[in-house]
Amino acid sequence: MRGTDLIVKAARLLVEAGVSDPARDARKLLAHVLDIPASRLTLVLPEPVGPDLAQAYEALVARRAQREPVSHLIGQRDFYGRSFQVTPDVLDPRPETEILIEAALAMPFASVLDLGTGSGCILLTLLSERSGAVGVATDLSEKALDIARQNATALGVKARAEFQHGSWYGALSDPMQFDLIVSNPPYIALGEMAYLSPEVQGFEPRMALTDEADGLTAYRALIAGHGPYLAPGGRMMVEIGPTQGPAVQSLMQQAGLCDVRILPDLDGRDRVVLGHSGEN
């Protein structure tokens, strides 16, 4: 079969499976199997594809039809211009999280604490963008930390990143303060889980998605415990669900953070809440 034929057949199968962008996914998977940049795929589509590669491609398409995420099938997801290794043990980096990155980069910082790092996409992006900065990442999942360490090595920032296993601030082995505290914690309320896509429900780590309660449990712990760890004049910022802005803003204000603001994403939905320690 030619590449064109394989893609047409794959897209038809993915349409029947209810995949939201079947043509895009069919192309990404074929580029992966052929081991070429997606930008070159159009050039090779008229050419025949060997039987072994065609079989490998069809196997991936069948898995995608079962709603397994493309990122899991190809083992990586792009975020802020970089490629991150992902597995079912970590939350996929999402474009919305880039709003937090932009907010963090808007002011100088020399040290970062990333609570619940997952793939490491937040901390490692910030360290990559600020060559003099250092950071610590925590996570309750050892498997997630393994992925984050591998991403740190791949991005060339391993020497400036430290990884600690445990729950939130309890993972820190030494008392220390940071210019910047960031987190994208589990914020989906238990009652909202049923409305997530099959890709998210079936293949991403549940503990990274929901607190099994009202979606605010992590924020209460993160914000209440920030005091010993946020340096004078430092900033704290968290990603939120689109309905959680006022509640998280109130938590920050009650905890003594100043100039607390809610930032929207590109669709105008509340996405990040940030505050300052108020001390210079």
Q: Specify the pLDDT at position 1.
A: 87
CATH of the domain at 206: 3.40.50.150
Do β-strands 270-276 and 258-264 pair in parallel, antiparallel, or remain unpaired?
Answer: antiparallel
186, part of any domain: yes
Domain end (from 14, 36, 66):
66
Count up the domains in the chain and report the number. 2
Its domain, for residue 54, covers 3-66
Residues 52 and 151 in one domain: no
Residues 89 and 189 in one domain: yes
Q: Specify the pLDDT at position 279.
A: 65
Domain end (from 66, 97, 121):
66
71, part of any domain: no
- The pLDDT tens digits along the chain (280 residues) read 899 999 999 999 999 999 999 999 999 999 999 999 988 999 999 999 999 999 999 999 999 999 999 999 999 999 999 999 999 999 999 999 999 999 999 999 999 999 999 999 999 999 999 999 999 999 999 999 999 999 999 999 999 999 999 999 999 988 899 999 999 999 999 999 999 999 999 999 999 999 999 999 999 999 999 999 999 999 999 999 999 999 999 999 999 999 999 999 999 999 999 999 976 5
Residues 137 and 246 in one domain: yes
Residues 38 and 107 in one domain: no
Q: Is the pTM of this model over 0.75?
A: yes
Residues 55 and 108 in one domain: no
Residues 52 and 92 in one domain: no
